[in-house]
Amino acid sequence: MQVRFWGTRGSIAVPGEKTSKYGGNTSCVEVRAEDGTVIVLDCGTGARELGQHLLASAVRPLRLHVFIGHTHWDHIQGFPFFAPAFLPDTELNVYAPAGFQRRVEDAIAGQMQYSYFPITLRDLRSRIHFTELEEGFFRVGEVLVQTQYLNHTAPTLAYRISSGGATVAYVTDHEPFWKPKGPTFHHPGDQRHLSFLEGADLIIHDAQYSAEEYAGKIGWGHSTVEYATDIALATGSSRLALFHHDPSHDDETVARLEAMARERAAAGSRSLEVFAAMEGLELDVRGSGRTAPVTAVSALRRPPVAGKRVLVVSANQTDVAIIGQMLAEDNLVLLPTSDMKTALANVPDVSPDMVIIDGNLPDGDGAELIKPLRARVDSQDLPIILLTEGMETVDHACLGAGAFTDCLAKPFSPSMLRTRVLAWLARARASDSIRPSGKAGAGISRRLTDEHASSAMAGGTKGAAAAIFADTLALMPLFRSLDREHLLNLVAQSNEKIFTAGNVAIHQGEPTDSLYVVLSGRMRVIQATFESPAAGEVLAEIGYGEIFGEMGVLTDQPRSATIVAVEHTRCLEISPEDFMQVLQRTPEMAIAMLRMLARRLQNADLLLARYAPDPLTGLLGRRAFLDHYQRMVAGPRRRRSGVVLLVLDVRHLKTINDRFGYMIGDEVLRTVADALKEATRTTDLVARYGGDEFVALLVDTGPAQASVIINRVQEKLSELSTRRGLPLMVECKIGIAGNMDPPVNVDDLLWVADEDLRKR
């Protein structure tokens, strides 16, 4: 394989005299495989020059494969300047791990919004395909690509590329799993890292810091020169490229670190060529014949993570609160407990998907809980992360407890822990053993029996699930004031219910018989209206720790709105009687409930004000039109069925007001509004956009049909003017804009329609 470095810097580009030797552009490496496949590793600022080079030297049309390690800015900021992306005959295949609650496409498009860049992602003319990856393997032509999660502050993948008997491993950004002390690596994560790199002919490895610098930057997600060298020595690799140079390191500093790494390699027992990567450096990588085992798992799968259950064993309430907030952001369910005894008693009933254990528990060493916990659920593949202050005390527990064990130093970085949680949940392919199959379109329930409830009140182990739910509610602001007895009373008759995206939890108008607490996911509140009985108006969204269905319980009236799951959502269904009893006995919770309702009413008032119809014409206003536009064009964009935008300007409105008075002027505006409503379909979007300006968005319509609508509007204007006895015939100038692939932002269509209107 042929390898060329186009960008070697980390964090931010630093071009200039002091970085001219090793380069100032951020990460970008070109790999050409034996079969001619062109692979681009990361799209930092170095991608600009690579793009120019490809246009000048490569055979057209271009078919490129872009592997993004993660979507931090220094790894994607060159994408908007990558010239091949602007050519209609270019095919770009972009691969990357999904970030925190954001798709790869959204992350790249985010930096290309008009606020930051003059060209949006949708404006690029090339054919771009986005693929989100997990750990595993896939093939690009004859090239084998293997992936593995790294230890960084965001989900990040390493790539191992094999072709023609040669292997290149690309590892950035990555931090040692434990404080490095030499060539021996005890942490299971470091051992996985070694196995992944075993036999690579060239390792391109994060080496941003020296050991001295790293001491003050633990948790930032980057490696030292020493660690990278020791890793390469341990894997038996023949070549190591020190990569992702720190922006504060000038050429002199990088050269000094390079010399230090070479001395360290020379002192090792194996032959290793070490060099600092520099822009423009080209390498011919030939195979040594050594190979690493290929995993049987495809990297192209995307197992769902939302709704997974994480048991947290810790008596540190601050840590539990931090972890709970972190899990809620990814729609994961927190199951908190404080000691070993309770955890062992509860784990069979709550069936967690993974466990986080504090190394210092009130009744013992957390490391000693790992093996009995797995034995209790009869699964050696249950992922467990141990939060500990020293590796020395946990070597025997972690190393002997199976491949699904991890350790993280305290005080921990929440973002680093979040990355590891997501990585382990993606790795673990164990199914949710407590989730029975349900009918399509219905929630899935898991009832706590009366026996469980009474046992929970007595402190028995049969009430383990009730105890877990009580602990879960105790972390939520609404229930934080309740004591243990009230919490257990509240969950005594509870059901755990699961709603997949689109499932209806509550139907508007149905009788009140339950209320729900959201454990993970999101629900949407929709109120049917006379104009839109099917879709209705979205009033609010409800997330972690919030309740819904409470208005029907408090007022003893039928449901006032429909509640629909936006995504995979877990809820705790609570008995209305138990809820009212607890609410009446605890003034603190009643006040918290009152505050929550006040916030919802305030938000609803703001929403209604935003979408309030124009008082003169009854049409939507400008703001509501802009908000509804994106929802309206989603279907036509997906179906490629097109939209047409009409912009109408009332002719001579000022003259009409001056000659006949504002009462006639207002009637003219109402006539235009009524003509538009009668001439268009109920599925179209009509609004008063300004004083004398109206807009109509016609969905699933092409320019050929627009003339029919315009003629119909003009006929209606003439008919209504006569019927209403107006002293003049109402006329409008009409501008047209059509698009079979409607833009995300309506501004483009409005501009075209305005230009057309001015010509008339």
According to the 3-state scheme, what is the secondary structure of 174-190? CCCCCCCCCCCCCCHHH
Q: Band of the pLDDT at 293, cuts 50, 70, 90?
A: low
Maximum average pLDDT range among 242-256, 320-334, 381-395, 740-754: 242-256
Q: What pLDDT was estimated at residue 160? A: 95
Q: Band of the pLDDT at 390, cuts 50, 70, 90?
A: low
Task: Please state the domain extents for the chain.
Answer: 2-284, 309-427, 444-609, 622-758
Bridge-partner residues for 686, per DSSP? 696
Lowest-confidence segment of 362-376, 432-446, 487-501 by average pLDDT: 432-446
Q: What pLDDT was estimated at residue 452? A: 37
Q: Band of the pLDDT at 533, cuts 50, 70, 90?
A: very low
Q: Strands 547-548 and 515-520, how do they pair?
A: antiparallel
pLDDT of 441 > 50? The answer is no
Q: Please indicate whether residue 333 or residue 90 has the higher confidence score (pLDDT).
A: 90
Bridge-partner residues for 564, per DSSP? 504, 524
Q: Band of the pLDDT at 347, cuts 50, 70, 90?
A: confident
Handedness of CA 62, 65, 69, 71 (dihedral sign): positive
Task: Identify whether the C-beta of residue 148 lies closer than 8 Å to the C-beta of residue 181.
Answer: no
Mean pLDDT of 309-330: 87
Q: Can you identify the CATH homologous superfamily of domain 2-284? A: Ribonuclease Z/Hydroxyacylglutathione hydrolase-like (3.60.15.10)
Residue given tokens 């949708």 in the structure block: 122
Maximum average pLDDT range among 27-36, 118-127, 403-412: 27-36
pLDDT of 66 > 90? The answer is yes
- The tokens for 658 are 């001056």
Q: What pLDDT was estimated at residue 200? A: 93
Cα separation of 74 and 28, whole Å? 10
Cα separation of 595 and 547, whole Å? 13
The alpha carbons of the chain give a radius of gyration, in whole angstroms, of 31
Task: Identify whether the C-beta of residue 100 lies closer than 8 Å to the C-beta of residue 154.
Answer: yes
Question: pTM of the predicted model, to two decimals?
Answer: 0.65
Lowest-confidence segment of 91-100, 529-538, 664-673, 711-720 by average pLDDT: 529-538
The strands making up 136-140's β-sheet, listed across from edge to edge, are 136-140, 143-149, 157-163, 166-171, 202-206, 239-243, 273-276
Q: Tell which residue, 381, 377, 595, has the closest CA to residue 477.
A: 595
Burial class (CB in 10 A: 0-12, 13-18, 19+), 708: exposed
Burial class (CB in 10 A: 0-12, 13-18, 19+), 633: buried
CB under 8 Å to 107, separation ≥6 — which residues?
71, 76, 99
Task: Identify whether the C-beta of residue 393 lies closer than 8 Å to the C-beta of residue 359.
Answer: yes
pLDDT of 258 > 90? The answer is yes
Which pairs with CB-CB distance under 8 Å and at least 24 residues apart come from 226-229? 226/180, 226/261, 226/264, 227/176, 227/180, 228/203, 228/261, 229/261, 229/264, 229/265, 229/268, 229/272, 229/274
Q: What pLDDT was estimated at residue 450? A: 36
What's the half-sphere exposure (Cβ side, CA atoms, 13 Å) at 261?
A: 33
Task: Identify whether the C-beta of residue 356 lies closer than 8 Å to the C-beta of residue 313.
Answer: yes
Q: Please indicate whether residue 146 or residue 440 has the higher confidence score (pLDDT).
A: 146
Q: What pLDDT was estimated at residue 260? A: 96
**Percent share of the chain, pLDDT over 90:** 38
Q: What pLDDT was estimated at residue 730? A: 92
pLDDT of 64 > 90? The answer is yes
Task: Identify whether the C-beta of residue 336 lies closer than 8 Å to the C-beta of residue 329.
Answer: no
Q: Band of the pLDDT at 446, cuts 50, 70, 90?
A: very low
pLDDT of 368 > 50? The answer is yes
Residue given tokens 């209403």 in the structure block: 724
Q: What pLDDT was estimated at residue 560? A: 76
Lowest-confidence segment of 130-139, 162-171, 285-294, 341-350 by average pLDDT: 285-294
Cα separation of 381 and 374, whole Å? 8
Task: Identify whether the C-beta of residue 621 lies closer than 8 Å to the C-beta of residue 687.
Answer: yes
What is the pLDDT of the chain when averaged over all its residues? 84
CA distances from 234 to 159, 195, 267, 391 (A): 19, 10, 13, 20
Cα separation of 549 and 571, whole Å? 12
Q: Band of the pLDDT at 239, cuts 50, 70, 90?
A: very high
CA distances from 231 to 206, 220, 225, 339, 371 (A): 11, 19, 10, 37, 29
Q: Band of the pLDDT at 498, cuts 50, 70, 90?
A: confident
pLDDT of 28 > 80? The answer is yes
Lowest-confidence segment of 366-370, 558-562, 726-730 by average pLDDT: 558-562
Residues 164-191 as b or e (16 or more Cβ within 10 Å = b): eebbbbbbbbbbbbbebeeeebbbbbbe
Which CATH class, in words, describes the domain spanning 622-758?
alpha beta
Cα separation of 214 and 31, whole Å? 30
* 666 Rama class: left (phi>0) / alpha (psi -120 to 50) / beta: alpha
* 441 Rama class: left (phi>0) / alpha (psi -120 to 50) / beta: left
pLDDT tens, position by position, 599-635: 777 766 665 666 677 888 888 888 888 878 877 887 7
Classify domain 309-427 by CATH number. Answer: 3.40.50.2300
Cα separation of 93 and 319, whole Å? 41
Q: What pLDDT was estimated at residue 588? A: 87
Q: What pLDDT was estimated at residue 527? A: 72
Q: Please indicate whether residue 343 or residue 596 has the higher confidence score (pLDDT).
A: 343
Q: What pLDDT was estimated at residue 557? A: 80
Mean pLDDT of 182-199: 85
pLDDT of 405 > 90? The answer is no
Q: What pLDDT was estimated at residue 181? A: 65
Q: Tell which residue, 265, 193, 191, 201, has the closest CA to residue 230.
A: 265
Q: How many Cβ atoms from other residues are within 10 Å of residue 302's Cβ?
A: 12
Mean pLDDT of 676-693: 87
**Percent share of the chain, pLDDT over 70:** 88
Q: Strands 202-206 and 495-499, how do they pair?
A: unpaired
Q: Please indicate whether residue 510 or residue 664 has the higher confidence score (pLDDT).
A: 664
Q: What pLDDT was estimated at residue 537? A: 65
Classify domain 444-609 by CATH number. Answer: 2.60.120.10
